[in-house]
Amino acid sequence: MNTGKRIGILTSGGDCAGLNAVVRAVTRCAIEVYGWEVLGINKATHGLMSRPPQAIQLTTQQVDPYLTRGGTFLGTTTKGDPFAFPMTDGSLMDRSQEIIEGYYQLGLDALIGIGGDGSLAILRKLAQQGGINLVGIPKTIDNDVGITERSIGFDTAVNIATEAIDRLHFTAASHSRVMIVEVMGRDAGHIALNAGIAGGANIILIPEIAYKIENICQHIKQRQQEGYDYSIAVVSEAVRTESGALVEKGHFTDCRLGGIGQYLSERISAMSDAETRVTVLGHTQRGGISSPLDRILASAFGVAAVDLIAQGQFDRMVTWQERSVKSVPIAEAIKDYRAVEPNGTLANTARGLGICLGDLPTGRGAAASAAELRDRLVTADLSSGLSSGLSSGLSSGLSVDVSADVSADMSIGEHAEEKLFTTSAGAL
């Protein structure tokens, strides 16, 4: 058994479900398997900046009750770049060396940092500057950290958003309204797309796909003509206005994304006879009991991070790829963020279900156009020979995904479900 090490763990950036499950996994594996000490650092890098450094020794008995609890019992922060830290007199100061010194004052042999791409970039810069043995674990409800297929917190956020959409179907049908649900997603539309499909939304707007209000209104009108007198629209907070402007709202001294739902509500009402209402889910997507999938992912990541330390592999981030945990260099992992592919499997699934993504006049037209595009690409490949077609596509950077074709029966099933909602509301 490799004994004698003391490792630290911190949570940085926005909170999400599953963080405490990671801390628990790291603590249990480090103590039970390797016989190490584990220190939990309070308030992320702020805890290392404090004098004395703010940290607590963790035990298995202490962390076990936190498996299902949301948030992070260690605390976190989204403020204060240590390389340009805001001081009380309004000036900015480089306090990175204080954090590095805090790491050594605690006598740490390694540090596990749980964060998104921004937090991991800062932690890596500190590690490179101060010789800190760093291992990263990705967490973000946006699921936009590069390389990893899943990040901690995403599944719970999607579950919460989906449940909200499920509930809004009934009130939308009761009042014949267009309900607009604004969900989180700083740069990417993964929550909106996943929850929208799972919740049976009729319209999904994400930042990766440009939209036109006319297309949305036409889709709503077509649904009304078909007997569906309500619609559910899910929109990511990062969606821009038609002119390309981000919608932000003031919050103390900062601006935050938010308000696109209200913008769309006003535009749709002005261009159609639809009565609209807006629900902003906000931070409810970050809280609550973590889903079983997030707990499993957090546990697997925590154990893998400890194993990397035991193997002396640092400056790496654990990832979920091909149904297993792997590790990659942190720099490579955060180099690019993971956006929704506009013509990827889920986007095409939405189109195949008749969901309007705003880029084509109607959900039905979008599904037909997407299917026609795939048919043309496949036909072109076959006519020139399968091998030469694939070779040509690869050399030009073309990626063709025909696996997401969805039968018309699914679209019919969706409409049948909506008809049930409408009928139930009318019987009340």
Q: Which two tokens stand for residue 293?
A: 């999938």
- As for how many domains the chain has, the answer is 2
Global pTM value: 0.81
Which residues, 6 or more positions from 210, have their beta carbon under 8 angstroms from its beta carbon?
A: 358, 359
- Percent of the chain topping pLDDT 90: 69
Residue 104 has pLDDT above 60, yes or no: yes
Could you tell me if 355 and 239 lie in one domain?
A: yes
Could you tell me if 123 and 212 lie in one domain?
A: no
Q: Which two tokens stand for residue 298?
A: 């957090």
Could you tell me if 294 and 255 lie in one domain?
A: no
Binding residues: 14, 79-80, 116-119, 140-142, 177, 184-186, 237, 277, 283-286
User: Do β-strands 55-57 and 85-86 pair in parallel, antiparallel, or remain unpaired?
Assistant: unpaired
Give domain status of residue 249, yes or no: yes
- Percent of the chain topping pLDDT 70: 81
Could you tell me if 297 and 360 lie in one domain?
A: no
d(CA 40, CA 231): 47
Give domain status of residue 379, yes or no: yes
Question: What 3-state class would DSSP assign to 360?
Answer: coil
Could you tell me the CA-to-CA distances from 331 to 120, 178, 259 in Å, in that order?
Answer: 9, 44, 33
Give domain status of residue 19, yes or no: yes
Give domain status of residue 262, yes or no: yes
Q: Which two tokens stand for residue 185?
A: 């997603």
101 vs 251, residue with greater confidence: 101
Could you tell me if 136 and 258 lie in one domain?
A: no
pLDDT tens column, 29-71:
999 999 999 999 999 999 999 999 999 999 999 999 999 998 9
pLDDT tens column, 173-229:
999 999 999 999 888 999 999 999 999 999 999 999 999 999 999 999 999 999 999
Residue 378 has pLDDT above 60, yes or no: no
Q: What CATH number does residue 306 fall under?
A: 3.40.50.450
Give domain status of residue 1, yes or no: no
Residue 375: active-site member: no
| DSSP state at residue 139 | B
pLDDT tens column, 330-342:
999 999 889 999 9
Could you tell me if 205 and 97 lie in one domain?
A: no
Could you tell me the CA-to-CA distances from 233 to 32, 92, 282 in Å, in that order?
Answer: 48, 43, 16
| DSSP state at residue 66 | G
Could you tell me if 237 and 184 lie in one domain?
A: yes
pLDDT tens column, 279-290:
999 888 888 899
What does the pLDDT read at residue 321?
94
d(CA 38, CA 32): 11
Could you tell me if 295 and 351 lie in one domain?
A: no
Residue-number span of the structural domain to which 236 is assigned: 159-284+341-427
Task: Average the pLDDT over each of 303-307, 313-317, 356-360 and give the range with the smallest value.
Answer: 356-360
Could you tell me if 29 and 164 lie in one domain?
A: no
Could you tell me if 253 and 105 lie in one domain?
A: no
Could you tell me if 217 and 327 lie in one domain?
A: no
Could you tell me if 117 and 175 lie in one domain?
A: no
Considering 275, 307, 333, which residue would you say is the last residue of a domain? 333
Q: What CATH number does residue 420 fall under?
A: 3.40.50.460
Could you tell me the CA-to-CA distances from 135 to 32, 53, 187, 331, 428 in Å, in that order?
Answer: 20, 20, 25, 12, 57
Give domain status of residue 400, yes or no: yes
pLDDT tens column, 133-151:
999 999 999 899 989 999 9
State the angle between helix axes of 408-427 and 154-175 in degrees (0 to 180), rounded to the nearest 10.
50
Task: Average the pLDDT over each of 79-88, 175-184, 199-208, 397-406 and give the range with the smallest value.
Answer: 397-406
- State the average pLDDT for the chain: 84
| DSSP state at residue 29 | I
The catalytic residue among 64, 89, 109, 142 is: 142
d(CA 246, CA 177): 26
What does the pLDDT read at residue 182?
95
d(CA 387, CA 316): 38
Task: Average the pLDDT over each of 161-170, 251-260, 313-322 and give the range with the smallest value.
Answer: 251-260
Give domain status of residue 87, yes or no: yes
What does the pLDDT read at residue 250?
56
Give domain status of residue 280, yes or no: yes
